[in-house]
Amino acid sequence: MTAKVNPNDTAPMTVHFLGNLLTFHIRSAVTNDKFTLIENRTAPGQGAPMHRQADDEAFYVLEGEYEFLLDGIWHRKGAGEALHIAPGTVHAFRNPGKTDARMLIINLPGSLHEAFFVDVGDRVEFGQTVFPPITPPDIPAIVASGLHNRIEILPPAA
């Protein structure tokens, strides 16, 4: 975890976290915390760990394919397909392909996920599409930030 950003900032930004380049096109400060709009680029074999949160989340696949885990079942979604995650739903996602995949993510409200990614991610050049080297994650810091931002990071399924 390196360069930090102000979560009250309205300027678009890109953050790298666990093989994801998250470009915040509309920040929560712009919408009075109603939502954030994120373009996410995921490296092959990477994704997000199992977690749940108290807010709504929606995904719209732009390019490639994603697999989404919802309550223990994997669902494959391709370009042009969308998915809503209700509050409290255990979920994860991954890119099963051999090339980058891209999707839009909308969080309602926006500040919880934004603050989490600002806290645990590394800021990179806005709109960057080349992944920096993936380093081992600081699991205790990720779990602690998640709890602080009402996102419960769950252990991998057995």
Q: Stretch 109-123: mean pLDDT, rounded?
A: 92
Residue with tokens 């490639």: 64
Identify the pLDDT of residue 143. 95
Identify the pLDDT of residue 6. 62
pTM above 0.85? yes
Distance CA 64, CA 97 (A): 7
Identify the pLDDT of residue 62. 99
Distance CA 124, CA 118 (A): 11
Three-class SS of residue 146? helix
Report pLDDT digits (tens) over 4-42.
546 578 899 999 999 999 999 999 999 999 999 999 999
Domains of the chain: 16-110 (2.60.120.10)
With contact defined as beta carbons under 8 Å apart, do 67 and 22 qualify? Answer: no
Identify the pLDDT of residue 2. 42
Residue 142 confidence (pLDDT) above 80: yes
Q: Stretch 57-83: mean pLDDT, rounded?
A: 97
Q: Is the dihedral of CA 29, 33, 102, 67 positive or negative?
A: positive
- Degrees to nearest 5, angle at CA 139 with 154 and 124: 110
